[in-house]
Amino acid sequence: MAVNVTGTACAVVFSGQGAQTPHMGKPHHRHLEAFRETYRQARDVLGLDFLAIGEGGGGDFETPEIVQPLLVTFGVASWRSLVEIGVRPQWLAGHSLGEVCALVASGALDFESALHFARERGRAMAACPPGGMAVVVGVDADRVSTCCDQVGNGRVTVANRNLPDQTVISGAAEALPEVADALRAAGAVVKPVRVSVAAHSPLMADAAARLEAFTQDLTIRGPDIPVVSTVTGEFLGDSTAIRNNLSQAVTGCVDWVSVMKTLRDNGVEQVIECGPRTVLRDLFSTTVTTVSAVSVSDPEGLSLLGIGHEETDTRAGAQRALRLLVGTPRLVHETTATEATTAAYARLQEIVDRPDSVSPEDVRRLLDDGLRAKGIDEDTRTRLIGRRQEVDR
């Protein structure tokens, strides 16, 4: 499918922390001068070689003060590359940290300030009391929130609403297992996230205060391109609203469901994700079916930028299959069908953790089984699975 970058109602969106992956940016840096220049600029500002860091992965990917400016650098480099080929979006949005990239793209914040802010954001979050996070699939956000309140006694909250039945919970590490057990009893699949911070929870209050003070020295202006808030799903207005959002977002819930609704209601037709994975592309593909969505890191996005396709691995394929399965609405609600879907969720998550023992065909079969259990007809299953195969080729 060709990507139409002119004459189309377009949004560019930016992924946040968690999207990092080893070798990120390597093909882009090799082929795109805008990428090389942006990475050089980041090195001059922070003294860090983000291409080398992104190539090696390892411990740096677990260090917020390094990975956050790394992701901002990748996002801004992707944006500049899109601008060079004529992409002119009507809207911008970013998932959590990705909003910093969106603000740079909108003209509200300069890149150097964004780098300093991202590093400070990482340091401030790491200095907060320790906690934990977990992904919850198969139960709607209202039920998850009720469970957090009743079982977690307010020590665990909903941190992300990514899809109607996919959320992330965050809070005190000692309270998370009990909440997770209660959610599993309600039919959810719960997967702990390998982090030691409780992002987007009240435990980040000290970080919010620190960032509020930090932003007072930043030059922020109103955006030239409308930016949808990652917290409210509403358009950010003046510099005061942007400044407040930058600090308060670390304690607030990321409401990506509302972001997608706002863009859908405003008539978006094309979404381009600036990120090293395809997370936001897949969320749009499964939720807003009228939208054509690509990522700068998938074959279509790479082709758009003039970069040849590079092979993707089984783990990445299983991650995409899992997101497609999670995001597809359930049409059948019988207990046996729910159990079958949950089993497919769990098996795909196992493949993400241990991909070496399976083939791409195993992933496709699991996706088909899970979609069938949700009551999805054969033609729709073929379309969804065919879309994933197309991306894997």
Identify whether 225 is part of a domain.
Answer: yes
In a shared domain, residues 121 and 18: yes
Range of the domain at 160: 132-196
**pLDDT for the residue 7:** 64
Query: Contact, 183 vs 177, CB < 8 A?
Result: no
Of 7-11, 49-53, 351-355, the range with the lowest mean pLDDT is 351-355
DSSP character at residue 235: B
Is 76 part of any domain? yes
Top-confidence range, 53-62, 78-87, 351-360: 78-87
Identify the CA nearest to 387 among candidates 341, 81, 374, 371.
371
Model confidence at 330: pLDDT above 90: no
Q: Over 60: is that where the pLDDT of 56 sits?
A: yes
The answer to whether the Cα torsion of 332, 322, 166, 132 is positive or negative is positive
**Is residue 43 one of the residues assigned to a domain?**
yes
In this prediction, residue 355 has a pLDDT band, given cuts at 50, 70 and 90, of low
Could you tell me what percent of the chain has a pLDDT over 90? Answer: 63
Contacts of 245 (CB under 8 A, 6+ apart): 99, 229, 230, 231, 236
Region 315-320 average pLDDT? 73
The torsion of the CA quartet 231, 235, 237, 240, rounded to 10 degrees, works out to 0
| Domain final position from 241, 276, 304 | 304
Report residue 312's pLDDT band, with 50, 70 and 90 as the boundaries.
Answer: very low
Distance CA 393, CA 390 (A): 5
Whether residue 140 sits in one domain with residue 48: no
pLDDT computed for residue 340 by the predictor: 81
CATH number at residue 191: 3.30.70.250
Taking residue 213's Cβ as centre, other Cβ atoms within 10 Å add up to 11
222 and 252 part of one domain: yes
Residue 39 belongs to a domain:
yes
Task: Tell whether 118 and 137 lie within a shared domain.
Answer: no
Of 7-16, 266-275, 304-313, the range with the highest mean pLDDT is 266-275
340, 366: one domain: yes
Strand partners, 13: 93, 273
Whether 380 is in a domain gets the answer yes
Q: Does the residue 4 lie in any domain?
A: no
Task: Look up residue 22 and give its DSSP letter.
Answer: T
**250 in the same domain as 290:** yes
The upper half-sphere exposure of residue 265, i.e. CA atoms within 13 Å in the direction of its Cβ, equals 10
pLDDT bucket at 392, cuts 50 / 70 / 90: very low
Final residue before a domain boundary, out of 152, 178, 196: 196
Confidence category of residue 359, pLDDT binned at 50, 70, 90: confident
Is there a single domain that holds both residue 145 and residue 249?
no
End position of a domain, from candidates 252, 275, 304? 304
pLDDT in tens, 180-220: 999 999 999 999 988 889 999 999 999 999 999 999 999 99
The more confidently predicted of residues 375 and 248 is 248
Q: Residue 215 burial (CB < 10 Å; 0-12/13-18/19+)?
A: buried
Question: What phi and psi values does residue 156 have, to the nearest 5 degrees?
Answer: -130, 135
Mean pLDDT in residue range 319-339 = 76
- Average pLDDT of every residue of the chain: 88
Q: What are phi and psi of 219, to 5 degrees?
A: -85, 115
Q: Tokens in use for 49? A: 């070689």
Number of independent structural domains in the chain:
3
The enclosing domain of 253 has a CATH number of 3.40.366.10
Please, which pLDDT band fits residue 18 given cuts at 50, 70 and 90? Answer: confident
In degrees and rounded to multiples of 5, residue 353 shows phi and psi of -75, -35
User: What is the sign of the dihedral through the CA atoms of 119, 124, 127 and 130?
Assistant: negative
Does some domain include residue 65? yes
Query: Do 225 and 350 share a structural domain?
Result: no
Same domain? 208 vs 122: yes
- Give domain status of residue 165, yes or no: yes
Locus of tokens 């807003």: 288
Same domain for 25 and 80, yes or no, is yes
CA distances from 161 to 50, 157, 392 (A): 30, 11, 27
Whether 213 and 263 share a structural domain:
yes
This prediction's pTM: 0.81
> pLDDT at position 286, please?
87
Tokens 């001068």 appear where?
33
Report which residue type is found at 293. A
User: Minimal CA–CA distance to 216: which of 246, 237, 236?
Assistant: 246
Do both 382 and 247 map to the same domain? no
